[in-house]
Structure 1
Amino acid sequence: MKRKLILVFVLIISATLFFSCSGAGKDTAGTSDETVTKDVTMKTLDIVKERGYLIVGVNASNPGFSYLDSDGKYVGFEADMGRAVAAAVLGDPEKIQYRPLTSKERFAALQSGEIDLLIRTATHTLTRDTDLGLNFTVPYYYDGQTFMVRKDSGIKTIEDLEGASICVLTGSTSEANLSDVMASRNLTYKPVLYENTDELVAAFLAGRADAWTNDRAGFMTRLQTIIDPAVYTVLEETISKEPLAMGVRQGDDQWFDIINWSLYGLFFGDEHGITSSNVNKIRNSSKKPEELAFLGMRSDLGAKLGLSNDWAFNMISKAGNYSEIFNKNLSAASGISISRGFNQPWTDGGLLYAPPFR
């Protein structure tokens, strides 16, 4: 399994370079220079329906979350979240086009209308919510920032990082958090900044820095692609809260509602045990009013969002519920084995909670 994941990591880098140069790698029809910004008076839902597919900003090289596989197809937890939204809005999870974006590029691409939706490990913060002209959804993944070092470095705690050189992605909350925590503890350090994750990882593995700071889940996915992961260790202390959320432009409440309630739908399916394999049966046999409303068998919840009344049925049947998407990409079965932690239904001790579908 490790050799397979290492091969995937190598292919990710090669495919990313190829598709960046060639303009290929899209999952649906449409040219790279196609105009996607419509009349500003148009709602995003109308733009997406008129175009015929959803445009989502993602990472192209984050194993487990979003990356290009050897066939040039975007796969991963965040990529599949995008497919779930496409299924809810357009009835087809493959009516989607992905735009690879760096941490520095991602918000500008959403602001300009280049993309309809951002799903790229973006932490929801007050400043981002108020200063960028964007709205952020309920979190789809709860994470926290820490550090990776070589085991033989002697670094066991954050205090041991005094005077260290530390790799970090520019334009990320990790960069700001690093500055804050080091200043609060009167520790000096040298930031080694990169815009691209693959370049950062290559530099760290080559010994160009003493440490690397990132979200914990990012380390778990990357460790599976490192040739000798036993050489490295992740510090126990978590220095921040990192609630990852989807982003949309401010001023379009309908689109914001659609994305939020699509996420709630994934949570609801998980909480109620509604999966892609049993959703047909539940829709035809359930006696629970809320489940029937959710699946479009009573009331007009879809119409209130501007969608068909079977939007949630389409999403669950064609993309799965939250657990299905998580397990496919991040569980032990995927070869990555990230613990669910807070990322499970509230009924199981997690933080995923859907408001009533009524």
Structure 2
Amino acid sequence: MKFYGFAAAVACLVATPAGAQQLAPSPTLDAVKARGNIECGVHLGLPGFSFANDKGEWTGLDVDYCKSLAAAVLGDATKVKYTPTSVQQRWPILQSGQVDLLARNTTITFSRNATLGVNFQGINFYEGQTFVVRTKAKVAKVADLADATICVAAGSTEEKTAADWFRERNLKVTIINFQKNDDAISAYDQGRCDAYTAGLGALAGQRIKFKDPAEHQILTEIISNDPQGPTTRWGDERWQLIVRWVLNAQIAAEALGITSKNVDEMKAKSTNTEVRRLLGVEGKFGDMMGIGNDWAYNIVKQVGNYGESYERTVGMASPLKLKRGSNELWTKGGLLFTPPFQ
């Protein structure tokens, strides 16, 4: 009798239709629709990720994510207001509601998730920490920096990771922290430090801004694994759902072979069920989130898939020329994948 009672309970659970559990209304989504734009917290200025030119036009991998979110929610990738945030300012700016999310090179860590009232909604860049040094210093590996002076941004994961790495190996270094990344970089460029430490992608972007980039080299040795991705406040599960699946849609589009150039043809002719769901032909996935069913179509049409975004912002078609590496699809030897759209 107990077995049949359990089986009946399981059958009831299985019979419950997907989507029967309704998400609560989203104050953030309502505010975005009312004001007509996404408020996106970005880096103060990091080429390749979030950087504004002299005309105030923002570009970069993280900027493309903000545009994708606007395309999905508002149908227009241009409907974004960018708020530059420092390492120290980013958390209170997000927590206060001044921005709807952070899309900047922010490392996902346990303590941040557990104590800052923030949730990380996926990984859009697999980063790893290393160092930039002067070529003439002839530094071949990180251990060669023993007794060196290292510049770093205060409050960053890189500050703690560098201190831990040298201490664990009984190597003495002097770490000088600065409240702003730009101040740390400037101090290094002026010769006040022997090295500057940050993520590999961040260093590739910052190196461009040096007085003479050719005089500096980025070490190939990586001392940490620092995945990064869009970040939201605790609460408002519907908004978190949207932020997370917009990123998934960018990655899934690349995996499914959908590009900004062929998206119309794929939408009209593809017989692949997951492609049809993603592009809004069937399934009403947008309705489940409270946005239009053409949400993912708008992302790809207006911004492109993840691979297109990567190549033009930080990849081989950009000044940074970063190889895909870990940021390649899992089917091509990388770490990127997305849950199924079903």
Structure 1 length as normaliser, TM-score? 0.86
Q: Which residue of 2 aligns with 1:167?
A: 151
In the alignment, is the contact (CA less than 8 A) between 2:149 and 2:195 conserved in 1? yes
Q: Does 1:324 align with 2:339?
A: no
Residue 342 of structure 1 aligns to a residue whose secondary structure is helix
Report Cα offsets for 1:261-315 as digits up to 9, x if no partner. Answer: 0001000111111111111111000011111111111111111111111111111
1:257 equivalent among 200, 225, 241: 241
What CA deviation, in whole Å up to 9, does each residue of 1:315-357 have, x standing for no partner?
1111111011111111222222111111121111111111111
Distance 1:175 1:259 in 2: 29
User: Please, which runs of 5 or more residues in structure 1 have no aligned partner?
Assistant: 1-40
Partner of 1:50: 34
Q: Paired residue for 2:172?
A: 188
Partner of 1:111: 95
How far has the Cα of 1:42 moved from its partner?
A: 5.6
Identify which of 107, 123, 128 aligns with 2:107: 123
Aligned partner of 1:346 among 320, 330, 341: 330
Per-residue CA deviation, residues 135-180 of structure 1 (Å, 9 max, x unaligned), is 0011100010011111222433333222221000111110110111
Distance in 1 of aligned mates of 2:26 and 2:244? 20
Structure 2 Cα separation of the partners of residues 167 and 96 of structure 1: 33
SS at match of 2:326: coil
Q: Percent identity?
A: 38
- Paired with 1:152 and 1:279, the residues of 2 have a C-alpha distance of 49
**Counterpart check, 1:240 vs 2:224:** yes
Cα distance between partner residues in 1 of 2:103 and 2:69: 11
> Aligned partner of 1:46: which letter?
D
* Structure 1 counterpart of 2:189: 205
SS class of match (1:109): helix
3-state SS, counterpart of residue 105 of structure 2: coil
Deviation of 1:203 (Å): 1.2
Distance 1:167 1:318, change over 3 A: same
Matched, 1:299 2:283: yes
Equivalent residues in 2 for 1:43-192, closer than 5 Å: 43-192=27-176
Check whether the contact 1:141–1:243 (CA below 8 A) recurs between aligned residues: yes
**Counterpart selection for 1:281 from 265, 277, 293:** 265
1:290 alignment counterpart: 274
Contact kept in structure 1, 2:26 and 2:238, CA below 8 Å: no
Residue in 2 that maps onto 1:10:
none
Q: Which runs of 5+ in 2 are unaligned?
A: 1-24
CA contact (8 A) 1:60 1:74 kept: no
Displacement after TM superposition at 1:195 (Å): 2.3
Distance in 1 (alpha carbons) for counterparts of 2:296 and 2:335: 21
For 2:153 and 2:312, locate their aligned partners in 1 and report how far apart those are by CA, in whole Å: 27
Q: How far apart are residue 230 of structure 1 and its match?
A: 2.9
Match of 1:342, as an amino acid?
S
Q: Which has the larger radius of gyration?
A: 2
In 2, distance between residues paired with 1:277 and 1:42? 33
SS of 1:334's partner is: coil
User: Once the 2 structures are TM-superposed, how far is the Cα of residue 72 of structure 1 from its aligned partner?
Assistant: 1.1
Helix, strand or coil at the partner of 2:83:
strand
User: 1-side partners of 2:262 and 2:62: how far apart?
Assistant: 23
SS at match of 1:239: coil
For 1:159 and 1:82, how far apart are their aligned partners in 2? Answer: 38
SS in structure 2 of the partner of residue 201 of structure 1: helix
For 1:240-267, what per-residue CA distance to the aligned partner results, in whole angstroms no more than 9, with x for missing partners? 0010111001111111111110001000
Q: Secondary structure at the match of 1:61?
A: coil
Give the CA RMSD over aligned residues: 1.4
Q: Distance in 2 between matches of 1:194 and 1:342?
A: 30
TM-score by length of 2: 0.90
Amino acid at match of 1:246: P
Judging changes above 3 Å, is the alpha-carbon distance between structure 1 residues 42 and 335 closer, same or farther for their aligned structure 2 residues?
A: closer
Alpha-carbon contact 1:155-1:161 (below 8 Å) kept:
yes
Match of 2:294 in 1: 310
Alpha-carbon distance in structure 2 between the residues aligned to 1:292 and 1:131: 40
Three-state SS of the structure 1 residue aligned to 2:133 is strand
Between 1:309-318 and 1:224-233, the stretch displaced more is 224-233
Deviation at 1:83, TM superposition (A): 0.4
8 Å Cα contact 1:137-1:245 kept in structure 2: yes
> Aligned-pair distance for 1:186?
1.5
